[in-house]
Amino acid sequence: MSAPLHTALAAISDELIALRHDIHRWPEPGFEEVRTQAAIMAALSEAGLSPRACAGTGVVVDIGSGDGPCLALRADIDCLRMTEANPHLPYRSERDGLAHMCGHDGHTATLVGAGILLAGVEDRLPGRIRLLFQPAEEGPGGAPVMIEAGCLEGVDEVYGMHNWPAAPLGALRTISGPCMATVAEMSITVTGKGVHASQPQDGQDPVLAAAHIVTALQSIISRNVHYQDRCVVSVTTIHGGEAFNVIPDTVTMSGTIRALSEESYDLITARIEAVATGTATAMGCSAQVLINRMYPVLVNTPKETALVESVARAVFGTVSDELLPMLGAEDFAFFLQHRPGCFFFLGGGESGRSNAICHATNYDYNDNLIDIGVRFWLKLIEARMDVALFT
């Protein structure tokens, strides 16, 4: 007979927190997660499992050998290329310009915890569990590389979790259908004819043209996209010129496109091209538009989302779709293009802490969410496989 879940969790809780703090202290960006990979594999191997490397710095481990369904659970393991502003933390980042400011350290520790506990009941699993520790979620996108390496072979369903500090601790948020947006990077180069700033009539001013383009781009959502569609076009950088008295030859700008449907995305990108080139031409200049699509729309499938919601009600008492779908993006979307599944959020907000949002310089994963996340993963498995693994 297995131990009660709360007893089994209590026995490894400090270990998981220590693992999270260690990963946080030594962050590694996409496809450079060598130390992180070694820490994951060491923890899983100590539990009697046989993890294997995947996609360079990723990790895959299979648990169970039953004939039932194979469920894949995914955690992202990379950090952000940014500077942490948490000088009070004893485990703050030791690497300049690198920091776990999105909680991937917590996601990793949580999935490791689920793996450790599953190892103890492996013989009771009627199916198989595959844990996916994925590199490079923040870019350039580790999910497609994992998929190409075969991480979904034999998998029936795939599930992913992300913390959300704005929601109360343990509150689950998800939605069937589009849940997160497709994201693309746009860059626009406006070319004119440079001239002395006192003689603008002798040139073609790309600064003026760029300013009109920025303004005109804001009309795309308000005048071309249906008011019920959630979309964003944001210009976030603009650069041009070297001297205060010289009109430059070129101005460059960049930004992001977010949409929740293929139709809206196609409409927006077509309009960006037309607006930018047309506005530049009207101002006597030319414009070159480059759009790099990064991640597709993340679409949760109905049956698997209903399962997550059902388990959430049983474990937490409530579930909601508050603030969903959102225009953030996630490369878990690639997994859902190949297998049915669900991506969901677990609240980490709690009184007495800052609850800084993900990607904020003072963000820090709530350690109290680790046990909650492990418990949810195990309850999800029990519900899907119709088995009681813990008393």
pLDDT of amino acid 3: 75
Domain 5-179+297-385 fold:
Aminopeptidase (3.40.630)
Concatenated DSSP letters of 20-81: HHHHHHS---TT--HHHHHHHHHHHHHTT---EEETTTEEEEEE---SS-EEEEEEE---BS
Residue 353's SS3 state is: coil
The secondary structure of 309-337 as a DSSP string is: HHHHHHHHS-EE-TT-SBS---THHHHHH
Tokens of 9: 């969790």
Q: What is the pLDDT of residue 1?
A: 47
* CATH 3.30.70.360-classified regions of the chain: 182-295
Rounded distance, CA 333 to CA 300, Å?
9
Do the Cβ atoms of 288 and 189 come closer than 8 Å? yes
In the block, tokens 């949760």 appear at 300
Which DSSP letter does residue 176 get? Answer: S
How far apart, in whole angstroms, are the C-alpha atoms of residue 256 and residue 188? 11
Q: What is the structure's pLDDT at 2?
A: 64
pLDDT digits (tens, 9 = 90+) for 50-100: 999 999 999 999 999 999 999 999 999 999 999 999 999 999 999 999 999
For the segment(s) 182-295, the CATH number from 3.40.50.920, 3.30.70.360, 1.10.10.10, 3.40.50.300 is: 3.30.70.360
Of 391, 380, 386, residue with least CA distance to 114: 380
Interacting residues of 147 by C-beta distance below 8 A, sequence separation 6+: 334, 335, 338
Residue ranges in the chain whose pLDDT is less than 50: 1
Instruction: Specify the domain boundaries for CATH 3.40.630.10 within the chain.
Output: 5-179+297-385
